[in-house]
Structure formats: C-alpha cells, structure tokens
C-alpha cells in the first residue's frame, strides 16, 4: 500500500472528520492534547505556537484540564487560540476533588477565565471521584443552561460507570475520554461499541503511550507505507468510527506528522499484522488509566 502526505497548505482540507449524534459538529479524527504543557513559563510561547500550527493543519480540537500544570496548560491554550476562537473546539476537565455541584461551577468559571473565553465547547469530569455523580451532572446541566458550556462528558469511565451516567441523564453525556493505544486495547472488548451505539464520542488519550510504544515492532510495518511508526499508531487508534485521538506535541515537525496521520487508511492485511504484534483483548479487562 502506498501513501503520500499532503502538502502543508492542503492539510486543513484533507483532515478526516468524524461525527457522533450527541455533538452537533464534525470533529477532526486527530487533534491536540496539552498534558505536560504549561509547566515552565520559558516553554509556553513554543507550546502555544505548536498548538497554533496544529489548528492551521486542521487539528482544531484542543483538550486541556485544570489539573495540567495547575491551570498553566489552559493559559497556553488561551495564547494559542487568541483571535481565532471561532475555529477551535475547546474542552477542559474538572478535577474529581472539585466536582461537587457548586465546586464544579466554580472550577468551570476559573477555567474559562484562564482560557480567556466565555464558553467551553466540552467539559469533562476527569475521573470518577467521591462526590455524588448526580451532583456533578446537575452542575454540568446548570452550566449548559447558563451558556458556559455546550456539552459535557466524562473521562476514565468504564461501561458500568457509563451506564450509571446514562441512568442519571439519558442521552446527555457527549464524550468519554479514556486511555487507548495499540498496546492498551482493553476498551475494544465492550466500551468502544457501547459508546458508538449511543453516539458518545470516545477520545483516546495517550494514543502514543507518551512515547513508550514498541517502536521497533511498529517500524517494519510503517516503512512500506512510507509513514513513521508514530503516524501508524495514530492512524490505527483513529480507525474506529466515533474514536478521536488526541496526541500532544510541542514540536512543529511532530505536529505536522500527527496531522498527516489523519489521511492514512489501514488495509485489512496491515491491521492483521498489527493484531499479531499487539493482540486484541480476549475478555473483559479493567479500564487502564495513565
């Protein structure tokens, strides 16, 4: 199989998109994360520039969280999206320790202030916590009514937890963000199908396992396709309908490679080769987290 990356000026047109019924907007299959951004002020200009480049190349969803650099990553996003808010789908997350009804509202307002925007496109509960889920969801709905968020969702929720969310607010949870990469495939047993059947966006964080994948195993498969091992891993991750990969990079070349991976479609023989190297789950597994 041959594959040739588009020229940079064509990335925005070429970027594949996905649609899920609970979000009334098409989203790029590969977009941008911000974990470990904002930790050092000396790096923030370069990090914001990388995010701006990603936007130019069609990766117009940016994921962040109040936890990342204690709000520093949100400040980097603010710099990146300044003057182009209308082009970008911005999402952030509330820490479980802040996810009481009033705490969620306060945390959202603080995130909006750091981001320099009036409305979040998507707001997630970062992982299950001690506060009653009913209260967090009630706060989410209050924020929707107030125009401070458009959609809400969760992160690090397995099927049982998603079923609980659905009982509390049927049809309202728009997204579940979970660990997913070629070496961590447990969600293929049940969670991917569960979300797809209900129109819930499934976002894959750490799609490159923070650089810890077995590149030696992937490179012989990637080379005949004329792509990098990382591009192969991203294309593999985003091969499911309704699954979006959100890698993070602060380096321009990597950002370009990430964007180009959206154009790669893997054939059956390539997928079979990858299955042999990284077997799919053969039964239920505990949800992995980073």
The strand pairing partners of 55, in sequence order, are none
How do the domains of the chain map onto residue ranges? Answer: 8-277
| Topology adopted by domain 8-277 | TIM Barrel (3.20.20)
Q: What is the pLDDT confidence band of residue 13, given thresholds at 50, 70 and 90?
A: very low
Residue-wise pLDDT tens digits, 85-133:
999 999 999 999 999 999 999 999 999 999 999 999 999 999 999 999 9
Q: Cα dist. 22→69, 196, 211 in Å?
A: 30, 11, 32
**Has residue 12 got a pLDDT over 50?**
no
Whether 8 has a pLDDT exceeding 70, the answer reads: no
Measure the CA–CA gap between 122 and 153, rounded to whole angstroms: 7
Percent of the chain with pLDDT over 90: 92
- The answer to whether 28 and 244 have CB atoms below 8 angstroms apart is yes
* Cα(89)–Cα(120) distance, integer angstroms: 8
Q: Where are the alpha helices (DSSP H) in the chain?
A: 11-14, 44-56, 72-81, 101-115, 133-145, 159-168, 191-198, 215-222, 229-237, 252-260, 268-277
192-240 confidence digits (pLDDT tens)? 999 999 999 999 999 999 888 999 999 999 999 999 999 999 999 999 9
Tell me the C-alpha distance between 234 and 213, whole Å.
11
Tokens at 25, concatenated: 């907007």
Query: DSSP secondary-structure letter at 98?
Result: G
Phi and psi angles of residue 128, each rounded to the nearest 5 degrees, phi first: -60, 140
């Amino acid at each position: 199989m041959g594959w040739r990356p588009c020229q940079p000026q064509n990335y925005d047109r070429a970027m594949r998109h996905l649609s899920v019924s609970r979000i009334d907007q098409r989203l790029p299959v590969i977009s941008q994360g911000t974990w470990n951004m904002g930790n050092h002020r000396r790096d923030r200009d370069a990090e914001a520039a990388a995010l701006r480049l990603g936007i130019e190349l069609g990766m117009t969803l940016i994921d962040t969280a109040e936890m990342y650099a204690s709000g520093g990553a949100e400040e980097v996003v603010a710099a990146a999206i300044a003057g182009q808010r209308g082009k970008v789908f911005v999402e952030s997350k509330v820490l479980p320790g802040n996810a009481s009804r009033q705490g969620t509202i306060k945390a959202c307002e603080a995130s909006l202030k750091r981001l320099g925007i009036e409305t979040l496109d998507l707001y997630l509960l970062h992982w299950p916590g001690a506060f009653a889920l009913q209260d967090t969801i009630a706060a989410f709905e209050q924020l929707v009514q107030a125009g401070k968020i458009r959609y809400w969702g969760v992160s690090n929720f397995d099927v049982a937890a998603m079923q609980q969310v659905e009982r509390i607010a049927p049809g309202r949870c728009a997204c579940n963000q979970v660990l997913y990469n070629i070496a961590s495939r447990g969600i293929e047993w049940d969670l991917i199908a569960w979300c797809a059947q209900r129109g819930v966006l499934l976002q894959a964080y750490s799609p490159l396992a923070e650089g810890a994948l077995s590149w030696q195993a992937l490179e012989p498969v990637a080379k005949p396709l004329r792509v990098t091992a990382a591009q192969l891993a991203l294309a593999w991750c985003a091969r499911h309908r309704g699954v979006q990969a959100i890698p993070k990079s602060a380096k321009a070349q990597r950002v370009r490679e990430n964007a180009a991976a959206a154009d790669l479609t893997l054939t059956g023989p390539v997928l079979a080769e990858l299955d042999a190297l990284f077997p799919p789950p053969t039964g239920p597994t505990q949800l992995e987290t980073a």
